[in-house]
């Protein structure tokens, strides 16, 4: 619970920064947020070396925020997320002080894959910086992958980050399942779905593709998808709640999915 509170605090820090600069419409101007800071933005095609990296140069008294532009305009959301991630390492006091104190810089990987607490914190900061709740509210009423793609274009953020922020911001019951091949990487549930006590999909659970309901979006070997209908795996820990479920990939179902 303390960890969840810390991540909520980080999200609030990021959103307060956007408010402080009086930004009232997307996309968020990241260069503007960093313009008055001792940070030099360093874009470049770094191949597969890293997605982002923040270094402190004591002699010059500045930070270098590297972010990978590989993929060109078609991947515009990903470089912006990487820059926002590195901004998190700078604006979060404990992260910045680690580098100021002589800590070694490290490479960052996009896609919410990193397990290290500092990387998770920077991911959360980046998602809230690019898509603050007060600007996202109008898009989270009926979330699905189509809406996530729309948000991705408007906010110039990655599709995955957009989908995650919609789940976090909506008042509806919905979930996002991210998988590699047929194995679950993680399942993110909306607050309303958590309150209903719906199932948790454990990591590495095998997804029965024939039972997936609704659309799927594949990016770089990973799949974002909806709930599936049919018999639930015995390790899933529960059954879907009664009532309306809005899921990524399908609009609404007013009946409970079959569990037998």
Mean pLDDT, the chain, integer: 78
**Per-residue model confidence (pLDDT) at position 137:** 87
Question: pLDDT tens across 72-105, in order?
Answer: 665 667 899 999 999 999 999 999 999 999 999 9
**70, 47 Cβ separation under 8 angstroms:** yes
The alpha-carbon radius of gyration of the chain (Å, integer) is 19
Burial class of residue 4, CB neighbours in 10 A (0-12, 13-18, 19+):
exposed
**184, 207 Cβ separation under 8 angstroms:** yes
User: Is there a single domain that holds both residue 62 and residue 169?
Assistant: no
- Which of 85, 104, 130 finishes a domain? 130
- Which of 107, 130, 153 finishes a domain? 130
- Report the pLDDT averaged over residues 53-76: 88
- Total domains in the chain come to 2
- CATH number of the domain that 22 lies in? 1.10.10.2910
pTM of whole model > 0.95? Answer: no
More confident residue, 56 or 148: 56
User: Is there a single domain that holds both residue 43 and residue 123?
Assistant: yes
**Distance of alpha carbon 96 from alpha carbon 236, whole angstroms:** 40
Pick from 134, 208, 143, 220: nearest CA to 176: 143
Within a domain: 215: yes
Unique residue bearing structure tokens 């948790």? 200
- Which of 76, 100, 130 finishes a domain? 130
**Per-residue model confidence (pLDDT) at position 185:** 78
Within a domain: 235: yes
Which of 79-88, 101-110, 161-170, 245-254 is least confident?
245-254
**Per-residue model confidence (pLDDT) at position 113:** 72
**Per-residue model confidence (pLDDT) at position 138:** 87
Percentages helix, strand, coil for the chain (3-state, rounded to 5) are 40, 20, 40
Within a domain: 172: yes
Residues in the chain: 260
166's enclosing H/E stretch is helix 159-169
User: Is there a single domain that holds both residue 112 and residue 163?
Assistant: no
Q: Is the pLDDT of residue 220 over 80?
A: no
């Amino acid at each position: 619970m303390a960890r969840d509170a810390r991540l909520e605090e980080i999200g609030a820090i990021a959103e307060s920064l956007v408010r402080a600069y009086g930004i009232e419409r997307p996309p968020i101007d990241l260069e503007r947020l960093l313009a008055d800071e001792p940070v030099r933005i360093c874009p470049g095609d770094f191949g597969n070396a890293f997605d982002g990296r923040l270094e402190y140069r004591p002699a010059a008294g500045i930070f270098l925020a590297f972010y990978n532009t590989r993929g060109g305009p078609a991947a515009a959301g990903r470089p912006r997320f990487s820059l926002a991630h590195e901004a998190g390492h700078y604006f979060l006091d404990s992260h910045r002080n680690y580098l100021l104190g002589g800590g070694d810089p490290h490479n960052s990987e996009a896609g919410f894959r990193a397990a290290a607490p500092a990387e998770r914190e920077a991911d959360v900061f980046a998602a809230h910086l690019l898509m603050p709740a007060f600007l996202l509210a109008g898009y989270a009423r009926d979330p699905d992958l189509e809406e996530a793609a729309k948000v991705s274009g408007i906010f110039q953020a990655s599709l995955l980050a957009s989908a995650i922020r919609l789940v976090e911001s909506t008042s509806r019951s919905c979930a996002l399942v991210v998988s590699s091949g047929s194995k679950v990487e993680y399942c993110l549930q909306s607050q309303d779905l958590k309150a209903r006590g719906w199932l948790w999909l454990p990591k590495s659970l095998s997804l029965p593709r024939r039972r997936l309901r609704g659309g799927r979006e594949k990016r770089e070997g990973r799949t974002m998808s909806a709930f599936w209908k049919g018999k639930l795996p015995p390790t899933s820990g529960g059954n879907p709640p009664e009532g309306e479920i809005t899921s990524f990939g399908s609009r609404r179902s007013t009946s409970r999915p079959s569990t037998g």
